[in-house]
Structure 1
Amino acid sequence: MSTNPTTVDQINDENLIGPFAIVPKTDCKHLADRNYTLPQSAHRVNGRQPPCTDCGATQENWVCLEENCQHIGCSRYQEKHMLTHHQNTGHNICLSLSDHSFFCYACEAYIDSPKLAQVNQQLIAASK
């Protein structure tokens, strides 16, 4: 795959910086007007990620950040259970338990927002 932009859209895409470079969106309109917290279901068990609710996978899992939702789903590179959860519920915002990135399925983009700062602080505290 070429890393040089080849279409007008790619040339004008401010998120396309180079090979595998990802710049999170800072204006996701799908974030609720609240501060997000780390769901209890996302806490490590015996040093491992909690298992996918659907298949039991314990690596590359995501946790849904919808209020009062505790769903853990495996990534799109495994059985796609977090994607299926989004499709079935409309819950858009999730957190990777592998690299602690945030993703919005509606925007189809990684995201960053001050509303997610508390989750980051809770992740740091939980890893100590």
Structure 2
Amino acid sequence: MTTTTTTSDHADDPHLIGPFAIVPKQDCTHLADHDYTLPASAKRVDGHQPPCTDCDAIRENWVCLEQNCSQVGCSRYQQKHMLAHHQNTGHNICLSLSDHSVYCYGCESYIDSPKLVQLNRQLVEASN
């Protein structure tokens, strides 16, 4: 027997709008009291994402946004090295180098905040 998930099954989830849309959390308590900036380790290399620090994968990577951390790790759909980095260090906030979304492992949610304005500006400038 197969089970089909419908949007009505997720009616109580405040982070979903319609089928598959995610609304970023606006009140993440894990964000530090500083503006976030794009780490140098996040810069594209020969038109590609920088490689995962652990396995050298060059797609679907994330960069840690903790101050003084430059870890680049592959996604949970690859070998989960950014998740392992979070589990080993407690660093919660990371940036997707694929779609520029910001995720908090502590909240288990995508996030948006005024503290990310500088980071968003740098991402726009880097794509021009």
- In 2, the alpha carbon distance for the partners of 1:4 and 1:78 equals 27
Question: For 1:36 and 1:80, how far apart are their aligned partners in 2?
Answer: 23
Q: Quick one: distance in 2 between partners of 1:125 and 1:4?
A: 37
Gaps of 5+ in 2: none
- 1 CA distance for matches of 2:126 and 2:16? 33
Q: What amino acid is the match of 1:35?
A: D
**Secondary structure of the residue that 1:45 maps to in structure 2?**
coil
Partner SS for 1:103: strand
Could you tell me which of 4, 7, 16 is aligned with 1:4?
Answer: 7
Q: Which moved more, 1:13-22 or 1:99-108?
A: 13-22
**Count of residue correspondences:** 125
SS at match of 2:63: strand
Alignment of 1:102-121 (within 5 A): 102-121=102-121
Q: TM-score normalized by structure 2?
A: 0.93
Contact 1:72 1:82 in 2 (8 A): yes
Deviations 1:94-122 (A, max 9, x none): 00000000000010000000101111111
Deviations 1:42-81 (A, max 9, x none): 0001111000000000000000000000000000000000
- Gapped regions of structure 1 (runs ≥ 5): none
| RMSD of aligned Cα (Å) | 1.0
Contact 1:3 1:18 in 2 (8 A): no
**Partners of 1:26 and 1:111 within 8 A in 2:** yes
Q: Name the aligned partner's letter for residue 56 of structure 1.
A: D
Provide the TM-score with structure 1 as the length reference.
Answer: 0.93
Task: Give the whole-Å Cα distance in 1 for the aligned partners of 2:97 and 2:122.
Answer: 12
Measure, in 2, the Cα distance between the counterparts of 1:54 and 1:79: 9
The 1-side partners of 2:67 and 2:41 are apart by 13
